[in-house]
Amino acid sequence: MTYPTMKLARASLALLATALTLPLGGCRTEMYDQPRYDTFDATTIFPDGLSARPLIGGTVPQGWSMDDEHLYQGRVDGKLVEDFPMAVTREVLERGRQRFQIYCTPCHGALGDGDGMIVRRGFSPPPTFHSDRLRTMAIGHFFDVQTRGYGAMYSYAARVNPDDRWAIASYIRVLQLSQNVPKADLTPEDLVKLQEAAR
């Protein structure tokens, strides 16, 4: 194929591609500007003049039936719960560790002692999880603080689902136990390791 023929073929292909893509430009307007009502737009379709329909009385939207106080509030009859609403398995603890590292370590630090990275950069420190007050606090307290916020900490209810908030609470208990094991509870092997680490 000669150079002028190749040049003509390329020009023909470019012209054909342009001709094929031009009609596509007209589709955008039709698909982009679809007839719909935005939230709280008025309408003449319904007698009340509102496009948004109210909830049907006595119904709950799917996934919003939060009738289990223990699971969703960390309280029963207004009092903080002392136990978990589910079995605390290795998987739950692992999930809690993962979520804790994502959401909690910036302030609370990896061990829960309140020296996270943003605290090191000047943010007011949260209390350590290893204080006597928090070690003896009902487990529902940790869920409640994540849900409602406390002091400088804002609520994580919109960011972390209830199961994950309980998983984080379970991991906080693990951190507390890991840093405050009574010497009498250690096995002889653990005591040897402890003495070796102290040297």
Query: How far is the C-alpha of 175 from the C-alpha of 93, rounded, in Å?
Result: 11
Average pLDDT across the chain, whole number: 88
- Which pLDDT score, from 0 to 100, does residue 9 have? 73
Indicate if the pLDDT at residue 143 is higher than 80.
Answer: yes
Query: What was the pLDDT predicted at 89?
Result: 97
The DSSP letter of residue 153 is B
Whether 149 has a pLDDT exceeding 90, the answer reads yes
Residue 9 burial (10 A CB sphere; 0-12, 13-18, 19+): exposed
- The pLDDT confidence band at residue 76, using thresholds 50, 70 and 90, is very high
Q: Is the pLDDT of residue 27 over 60?
A: no
Can you spell out the DSSP letters for 92-142? Answer: HHHHHHHHHHHHTHHHH-TTSSS--HHHHTTPPPPPPTTSHHHHSS-HHHH
What are the structural domains, with CATH classification, of the chain?
A: 86-180 (1.10.760.10)
Give the percent of the chain with pLDDT over 70: 92
Q: pLDDT of 35-60, one tens digit each?
A: 788 888 899 889 999 888 887 888 87
What's the pLDDT score for residue 1? 62
How far, rounded to the nearest angstrom, does the alpha carbon of residue 38 sit from its chain's CA centroid? 28
Three-state SS across 109-122? CCCCCCCCHHHHCC
